[in-house]
A and B are shown apart, each in its own frame.
Chain A
Amino acid sequence: MNWADSFLRTLKENDVRLVTYVPDNVLTPLIAGAAADNYFMSVGATREDEALGTLAGAYMGGMRGVVMMQTSGFALIANALASLIVPYQIPAIIVVSERGTLGEFNIGQVTVARTLRPTLDSIAVEHHTLTDEATMPFIVDKSIKQAFTTQSPVVFILSPLLTGGNPLAAAKLK
Protein backbone atom coordinates (compact mmCIF):
# COMPACT_ATOMS: atom_id res chain seq x y z
CA MET A 1 0.00 0.00 0.00
CA ASN A 2 1.46 3.38 -0.98
CA TRP A 3 1.34 6.53 1.17
CA ALA A 4 -1.77 7.88 -0.56
CA ASP A 5 -3.79 4.67 -0.13
CA SER A 6 -2.70 4.50 3.49
CA PHE A 7 -3.74 8.12 4.07
CA LEU A 8 -7.17 7.57 2.48
CA ARG A 9 -7.68 4.44 4.58
CA THR A 10 -7.04 6.42 7.76
CA LEU A 11 -9.54 9.08 6.64
CA LYS A 12 -12.14 6.35 6.14
CA GLU A 13 -11.44 4.80 9.50
CA ASN A 14 -12.25 8.19 11.03
CA ASP A 15 -15.46 8.81 9.06
CA VAL A 16 -13.94 11.64 7.03
CA ARG A 17 -16.05 11.56 3.84
CA LEU A 18 -15.93 14.98 2.18
CA VAL A 19 -12.77 15.60 0.14
CA THR A 20 -12.55 19.15 -1.17
CA TYR A 21 -9.42 20.40 -2.84
CA VAL A 22 -7.56 22.57 -5.28
CA PRO A 23 -5.45 20.26 -7.45
CA ASP A 24 -1.72 19.67 -7.22
CA ASN A 25 0.62 17.18 -8.85
CA VAL A 26 1.74 15.65 -5.58
CA LEU A 27 -1.86 15.34 -4.38
CA THR A 28 -2.97 13.52 -7.54
CA PRO A 29 -2.96 10.02 -6.02
CA LEU A 30 -5.02 11.26 -3.04
CA ILE A 31 -7.50 13.12 -5.26
CA ALA A 32 -7.78 10.30 -7.79
CA GLY A 33 -8.02 7.66 -5.06
CA ALA A 34 -10.84 9.55 -3.36
CA ALA A 35 -12.67 10.13 -6.65
CA ALA A 36 -12.51 6.43 -7.45
CA ASP A 37 -14.00 5.43 -4.09
CA ASN A 38 -17.75 5.87 -3.58
CA TYR A 39 -17.20 6.27 0.15
CA PHE A 40 -15.83 9.74 -0.47
CA MET A 41 -17.68 12.78 -1.75
CA SER A 42 -15.19 14.77 -3.83
CA VAL A 43 -15.69 18.47 -4.55
CA GLY A 44 -13.12 20.39 -6.57
CA ALA A 45 -12.98 24.00 -5.37
CA THR A 46 -11.70 27.07 -7.19
CA ARG A 47 -9.86 28.47 -4.19
CA GLU A 48 -8.53 27.01 -0.98
CA ASP A 49 -10.59 29.30 1.28
CA GLU A 50 -13.71 28.24 -0.61
CA ALA A 51 -12.81 24.61 0.13
CA LEU A 52 -12.45 25.43 3.83
CA GLY A 53 -15.87 27.10 3.85
CA THR A 54 -17.47 24.03 2.32
CA LEU A 55 -15.73 21.83 4.87
CA ALA A 56 -17.01 24.04 7.70
CA GLY A 57 -20.59 23.83 6.43
CA ALA A 58 -20.39 20.10 5.94
CA TYR A 59 -19.00 19.58 9.44
CA MET A 60 -21.84 21.57 10.99
CA GLY A 61 -24.24 19.50 8.90
CA GLY A 62 -22.76 16.28 10.29
CA MET A 63 -20.25 15.26 7.62
CA ARG A 64 -16.52 15.24 8.39
CA GLY A 65 -14.20 16.57 5.73
CA VAL A 66 -10.64 17.12 4.59
CA VAL A 67 -9.26 19.99 2.49
CA MET A 68 -6.25 19.41 0.24
CA MET A 69 -4.01 22.10 -1.24
CA GLN A 70 -0.49 23.05 -2.20
CA THR A 71 1.76 25.37 -0.18
CA SER A 72 1.00 28.36 -2.42
CA GLY A 73 -2.72 27.78 -1.86
CA PHE A 74 -2.17 27.75 1.87
CA ALA A 75 -1.06 31.36 1.60
CA LEU A 76 -4.63 32.23 0.56
CA ILE A 77 -6.36 30.86 3.65
CA ALA A 78 -5.05 32.91 6.59
CA ASN A 79 -8.34 34.81 6.90
CA ALA A 80 -10.52 31.71 6.60
CA LEU A 81 -8.46 30.02 9.32
CA ALA A 82 -8.35 33.03 11.63
CA SER A 83 -11.94 34.23 11.25
CA LEU A 84 -13.86 31.00 10.57
CA ILE A 85 -12.11 27.73 11.36
CA VAL A 86 -10.34 28.71 14.59
CA PRO A 87 -12.94 30.97 16.31
CA TYR A 88 -15.90 28.77 15.36
CA GLN A 89 -13.94 25.70 16.56
CA ILE A 90 -14.26 23.73 13.33
CA PRO A 91 -12.16 20.51 13.34
CA ALA A 92 -10.84 20.98 9.81
CA ILE A 93 -8.48 18.29 8.55
CA ILE A 94 -6.10 20.12 6.21
CA VAL A 95 -3.51 18.52 3.92
CA VAL A 96 -0.80 20.70 2.42
CA SER A 97 1.57 19.20 -0.14
CA GLU A 98 4.87 20.88 0.52
CA ARG A 99 6.59 22.62 -2.34
CA GLY A 100 9.35 25.16 -2.01
CA THR A 101 11.92 22.85 -0.41
CA LEU A 102 14.06 19.74 -1.07
CA GLY A 103 14.42 20.31 -4.79
CA GLU A 104 12.25 23.28 -5.75
CA PHE A 105 12.89 25.04 -9.08
CA ASN A 106 10.45 27.98 -8.71
CA ILE A 107 11.66 30.77 -6.42
CA GLY A 108 8.08 31.93 -5.91
CA GLN A 109 7.26 28.57 -4.39
CA VAL A 110 10.35 28.76 -2.16
CA THR A 111 9.32 32.12 -0.74
CA VAL A 112 5.65 31.35 -0.21
CA ALA A 113 6.52 28.04 1.47
CA ARG A 114 8.34 29.98 4.19
CA THR A 115 5.02 31.49 5.30
CA LEU A 116 3.44 28.10 6.03
CA ARG A 117 4.70 27.10 9.46
CA PRO A 118 5.04 30.65 10.90
CA THR A 119 1.42 31.35 9.92
CA LEU A 120 0.20 28.18 11.62
CA ASP A 121 2.35 28.81 14.70
CA SER A 122 1.13 32.41 14.98
CA ILE A 123 -2.48 31.26 15.42
CA ALA A 124 -1.54 28.10 17.34
CA VAL A 125 -2.88 25.62 14.80
CA GLU A 126 -1.48 22.12 15.30
CA HIS A 127 0.60 20.85 12.39
CA HIS A 128 2.62 17.76 11.63
CA THR A 129 5.11 17.22 8.84
CA LEU A 130 4.71 13.72 7.43
CA THR A 131 8.03 12.34 6.24
CA ASP A 132 7.70 8.56 6.14
CA GLU A 133 5.08 5.88 5.65
CA ALA A 134 5.99 4.02 8.82
CA THR A 135 4.95 6.77 11.25
CA MET A 136 2.27 8.38 9.08
CA PRO A 137 -0.76 6.23 10.03
CA PHE A 138 -0.19 6.78 13.75
CA ILE A 139 0.28 10.54 13.38
CA VAL A 140 -2.71 10.97 11.07
CA ASP A 141 -5.10 8.72 12.98
CA LYS A 142 -4.33 10.15 16.42
CA SER A 143 -4.32 13.75 15.17
CA ILE A 144 -7.68 13.41 13.42
CA LYS A 145 -9.19 11.95 16.60
CA GLN A 146 -7.63 14.77 18.61
CA ALA A 147 -9.03 17.36 16.19
CA PHE A 148 -12.62 16.13 16.50
CA THR A 149 -12.37 15.56 20.24
CA THR A 150 -10.93 19.02 20.94
CA GLN A 151 -12.86 20.95 18.24
CA SER A 152 -9.62 22.12 16.64
CA PRO A 153 -8.11 22.05 13.15
CA VAL A 154 -4.99 20.09 12.26
CA VAL A 155 -2.65 20.47 9.31
CA PHE A 156 -0.68 17.63 7.75
CA ILE A 157 2.26 18.86 5.69
CA LEU A 158 3.25 16.25 3.11
CA SER A 159 7.04 16.44 2.87
CA PRO A 160 8.85 15.45 -0.34
CA LEU A 161 10.51 12.85 1.91
CA LEU A 162 7.13 11.09 1.98
CA THR A 163 5.78 11.86 -1.48
CA GLY A 164 8.91 12.11 -3.59
CA GLY A 165 8.00 15.72 -4.34
CA ASN A 166 6.81 17.26 -7.57
CA PRO A 167 7.44 14.71 -10.32
CA LEU A 168 8.04 17.51 -12.83
CA ALA A 169 10.78 19.13 -10.75
CA ALA A 170 13.67 16.81 -11.46
CA ALA A 171 13.99 17.78 -15.11
CA LYS A 172 14.08 21.47 -14.22
CA LEU A 173 16.82 21.28 -11.58
CA LYS A 174 20.43 21.86 -12.57
Chain B
Amino acid sequence: MTAPTIDAPDVKVLNRADLTKRLVAKLKCDEAVVAGIGNTNFDLYAAGHRPQNFYMLGSMGLACPIALGVALAQPERGVIALEGDGSILMALGCLTTIGMVKPRNLTIIIMDNGIYQITGKQRAATAGTADIVAIARGAGIADSHWVRDAAHFETLMSRRFDEGGPLLLAAKIDDQGGTAQTPRDPALIRQRFMRGLGTGRASALDG
Protein backbone atom coordinates (compact mmCIF):
# COMPACT_ATOMS: atom_id res chain seq x y z
CA MET B 1 0.00 0.00 0.00
CA THR B 2 1.35 3.40 -0.90
CA ALA B 3 0.34 6.84 0.19
CA PRO B 4 -1.30 8.62 -2.75
CA THR B 5 -1.18 12.24 -1.72
CA ILE B 6 2.50 13.12 -1.65
CA ASP B 7 5.09 13.35 -4.36
CA ALA B 8 6.85 10.16 -3.24
CA PRO B 9 5.07 7.13 -4.68
CA ASP B 10 7.47 4.64 -3.09
CA VAL B 11 6.47 5.62 0.44
CA LYS B 12 4.84 2.72 2.27
CA VAL B 13 2.31 3.00 5.08
CA LEU B 14 4.01 2.08 8.34
CA ASN B 15 2.98 1.71 11.98
CA ARG B 16 3.69 4.21 14.76
CA ALA B 17 4.33 1.69 17.54
CA ASP B 18 6.68 -0.31 15.32
CA LEU B 19 8.64 2.75 14.18
CA THR B 20 8.88 4.06 17.73
CA LYS B 21 10.31 0.74 18.95
CA ARG B 22 12.82 0.79 16.11
CA LEU B 23 13.83 4.35 17.05
CA VAL B 24 14.25 3.59 20.76
CA ALA B 25 16.40 0.54 19.91
CA LYS B 26 18.78 2.88 18.05
CA LEU B 27 19.30 5.27 20.96
CA LYS B 28 22.74 4.62 22.45
CA CYS B 29 23.79 7.98 23.94
CA ASP B 30 20.97 8.90 26.34
CA GLU B 31 19.30 11.00 23.67
CA ALA B 32 16.34 13.06 24.87
CA VAL B 33 13.00 12.20 23.27
CA VAL B 34 10.10 14.65 23.53
CA ALA B 35 6.80 13.13 22.45
CA GLY B 36 3.67 15.09 21.62
CA ILE B 37 0.17 14.78 23.00
CA GLY B 38 -1.79 11.54 22.68
CA ASN B 39 -0.79 8.55 20.58
CA THR B 40 2.74 9.81 19.95
CA ASN B 41 3.71 9.75 23.62
CA PHE B 42 1.60 6.66 24.31
CA ASP B 43 3.68 4.67 21.84
CA LEU B 44 6.93 6.15 23.15
CA TYR B 45 5.97 4.95 26.62
CA ALA B 46 4.91 1.57 25.19
CA ALA B 47 8.36 1.18 23.62
CA GLY B 48 9.83 1.05 27.14
CA HIS B 49 10.29 3.96 29.52
CA ARG B 50 13.66 5.69 29.45
CA PRO B 51 14.80 8.42 31.90
CA GLN B 52 15.35 10.76 28.93
CA ASN B 53 11.71 10.55 27.74
CA PHE B 54 9.38 13.52 28.10
CA TYR B 55 5.65 12.85 27.79
CA MET B 56 3.49 15.84 26.90
CA LEU B 57 -0.03 15.63 28.32
CA GLY B 58 -1.53 18.81 26.87
CA SER B 59 -0.25 21.84 24.97
CA MET B 60 -0.93 20.29 21.54
CA GLY B 61 1.67 21.38 19.00
CA LEU B 62 4.51 22.13 21.41
CA ALA B 63 6.63 18.96 21.17
CA CYS B 64 9.01 20.53 18.65
CA PRO B 65 9.40 23.83 20.55
CA ILE B 66 10.06 21.89 23.78
CA ALA B 67 12.64 19.74 22.00
CA LEU B 68 14.25 22.87 20.56
CA GLY B 69 14.63 24.24 24.09
CA VAL B 70 16.29 21.03 25.30
CA ALA B 71 18.57 21.05 22.25
CA LEU B 72 19.66 24.65 22.90
CA ALA B 73 20.28 24.02 26.59
CA GLN B 74 22.24 20.80 25.99
CA PRO B 75 24.02 21.19 22.64
CA GLU B 76 26.09 18.02 23.19
CA ARG B 77 23.03 15.79 23.55
CA GLY B 78 20.98 14.45 20.67
CA VAL B 79 17.33 15.49 20.96
CA ILE B 80 14.42 13.91 19.10
CA ALA B 81 10.90 15.33 18.79
CA LEU B 82 8.10 12.88 18.00
CA GLU B 83 4.97 14.59 16.77
CA GLY B 84 1.73 13.80 14.95
CA ASP B 85 0.59 15.42 11.72
CA GLY B 86 -2.42 17.10 13.31
CA SER B 87 -0.21 18.54 16.02
CA ILE B 88 2.40 19.93 13.66
CA LEU B 89 -0.33 21.41 11.44
CA MET B 90 -1.35 23.41 14.51
CA ALA B 91 2.20 24.72 14.99
CA LEU B 92 3.76 25.05 11.54
CA GLY B 93 5.44 28.30 12.57
CA CYS B 94 7.82 26.43 14.85
CA LEU B 95 9.34 24.74 11.80
CA THR B 96 10.39 28.17 10.53
CA THR B 97 11.97 28.93 13.89
CA ILE B 98 13.89 25.64 13.81
CA GLY B 99 14.83 26.34 10.19
CA MET B 100 16.27 29.66 11.31
CA VAL B 101 18.03 28.48 14.49
CA LYS B 102 19.32 25.27 12.85
CA PRO B 103 20.14 23.24 15.97
CA ARG B 104 22.55 20.54 14.77
CA ASN B 105 21.44 18.16 17.54
CA LEU B 106 17.70 18.17 16.77
CA THR B 107 15.80 15.48 14.85
CA ILE B 108 12.06 15.73 14.22
CA ILE B 109 9.93 12.70 13.35
CA ILE B 110 6.36 13.32 12.18
CA MET B 111 3.91 10.42 12.34
CA ASP B 112 1.45 11.22 9.56
CA ASN B 113 -1.78 9.20 9.44
CA GLY B 114 -3.76 11.94 7.70
CA ILE B 115 -6.35 11.93 10.47
CA TYR B 116 -7.02 13.21 13.96
CA GLN B 117 -6.99 9.59 15.12
CA ILE B 118 -7.59 10.08 18.81
CA THR B 119 -10.59 12.39 18.47
CA GLY B 120 -12.50 10.12 16.07
CA LYS B 121 -10.40 9.80 12.92
CA GLN B 122 -11.46 13.10 11.40
CA ARG B 123 -9.65 13.85 8.14
CA ALA B 124 -6.65 16.22 8.27
CA ALA B 125 -5.19 18.36 5.47
CA THR B 126 -2.30 15.87 5.32
CA ALA B 127 -4.73 13.26 3.98
CA GLY B 128 -5.12 15.05 0.69
CA THR B 129 -3.27 18.25 0.03
CA ALA B 130 -0.63 19.13 2.63
CA ASP B 131 2.85 17.60 2.33
CA ILE B 132 4.74 17.85 5.64
CA VAL B 133 8.16 17.28 4.06
CA ALA B 134 7.60 19.98 1.45
CA ILE B 135 6.37 22.34 4.19
CA ALA B 136 9.43 21.62 6.34
CA ARG B 137 11.80 22.22 3.44
CA GLY B 138 10.01 25.47 2.70
CA ALA B 139 10.39 26.41 6.36
CA GLY B 140 14.17 26.14 6.08
CA ILE B 141 14.75 22.57 7.25
CA ALA B 142 16.47 21.49 4.04
CA ASP B 143 17.22 17.99 5.33
CA SER B 144 13.59 16.79 5.34
CA HIS B 145 12.57 13.41 3.93
CA TRP B 146 9.75 10.91 3.66
CA VAL B 147 10.49 7.53 5.20
CA ARG B 148 10.10 4.96 2.42
CA ASP B 149 9.80 1.82 4.53
CA ALA B 150 10.96 0.27 7.80
CA ALA B 151 14.39 -0.60 6.45
CA HIS B 152 14.84 2.98 5.24
CA PHE B 153 13.84 4.22 8.71
CA GLU B 154 16.41 1.92 10.34
CA THR B 155 19.08 3.29 8.02
CA LEU B 156 18.10 6.88 8.73
CA MET B 157 18.18 6.21 12.50
CA SER B 158 21.63 4.59 12.36
CA ARG B 159 23.36 7.88 12.96
CA ARG B 160 24.67 10.21 15.62
CA PHE B 161 21.84 12.39 16.87
CA ASP B 162 24.10 15.09 18.30
CA GLU B 163 25.25 16.40 14.93
CA GLY B 164 24.11 16.88 11.36
CA GLY B 165 20.74 18.40 12.23
CA PRO B 166 18.23 19.74 12.00
CA LEU B 167 16.74 16.71 10.31
CA LEU B 168 13.02 16.10 9.76
CA LEU B 169 11.56 12.75 8.81
CA ALA B 170 7.91 12.13 8.08
CA ALA B 171 6.35 8.69 7.94
CA LYS B 172 2.97 7.78 6.52
CA ILE B 173 1.39 5.56 9.17
CA ASP B 174 -1.81 3.54 9.54
CA ASP B 175 -4.84 4.54 11.61
CA GLN B 176 -3.99 2.53 14.72
CA GLY B 177 -4.23 4.23 18.12
CA GLY B 178 -1.54 4.28 20.77
CA THR B 179 -0.66 0.99 22.41
CA ALA B 180 -0.34 2.08 26.07
CA GLN B 181 -1.38 4.90 28.38
CA THR B 182 1.27 7.21 29.81
CA PRO B 183 1.16 7.84 33.58
CA ARG B 184 -0.49 11.26 34.00
CA ASP B 185 1.60 12.95 36.70
CA PRO B 186 3.17 16.02 35.09
CA ALA B 187 5.38 17.02 38.02
CA LEU B 188 6.78 13.48 38.25
CA ILE B 189 7.33 13.35 34.47
CA ARG B 190 9.31 16.61 34.64
CA GLN B 191 11.38 15.53 37.64
CA ARG B 192 12.28 12.18 36.12
CA PHE B 193 13.09 13.78 32.77
CA MET B 194 15.36 16.32 34.46
CA ARG B 195 17.16 13.53 36.32
CA GLY B 196 17.55 11.77 33.00
CA LEU B 197 19.15 14.92 31.59
CA GLY B 198 21.34 15.45 34.65
CA THR B 199 19.58 18.66 35.65
CA GLY B 200 17.35 17.37 38.45
CA ARG B 201 17.58 18.97 41.84
CA ALA B 202 19.20 16.76 44.46
CA SER B 203 16.89 16.09 47.38
CA ALA B 204 17.30 14.76 50.89
CA LEU B 205 14.23 12.67 50.05
CA ASP B 206 16.24 10.68 47.50
CA GLY B 207 16.86 7.25 48.98
A→B interface (CB under 8 Å): 18, 41, 43-47, 49-63, 65, 79-80, 82-84, 87-90, 151
Contacts and interface: CB of A to CB of B under 8 A. Distances in A.
Residue from A43, A60, A90 having most chain B Cβ neighbours under 10 A: A60
A32 B72 CA distance: 20
A60 B100 CA distance: 22
Contacts of B60: 79
B68 A54 contact: yes
Given A61-B70, A62-B74, A79-B59, A89 B97 contact: no
B108 to A, nearest CB: 13
Contact of B199 (A49, A50, A62, A82): A62
Nearest to A43: B101
Contacts of B96: 46
A146 to B, nearest CB: 16
Given A53-B62, A55-B69, A44 B199 contact: no
B199 A90 contact: no
Given A43-B101, A46-B94, A88-B190, A57 B57 contact: no
11 contacts: A18-B69, A18-B72, A18-B73, A46-B93, A57-B70, A57-B73, A59-B69, A82-B58, A83-B59, A87-B186, A90-B190
Given A57-B67, A61-B32, 9 more contacts: A47-B93, A52-B65, A54-B97, A57-B70, A58-B70, A61-B70, A62-B197, A87-B58, A88-B187
B59 A53 contact: yes
A50 B91 contact: yes
Interface residues of B, number: 39
A54 B74 contact: no
Interface of B: 32, 34, 54, 56-74, 77, 91, 93-94, 96-97, 100-101, 186-187, 189-190, 193-194, 197-199
B66 A45 contact: no
Contacts of B74: 61-62
A58 B67 CA distance: 8
A171 to B, nearest CB: 31
B87 to A, nearest CB: 12
Contacts of A89: 186-187, 190
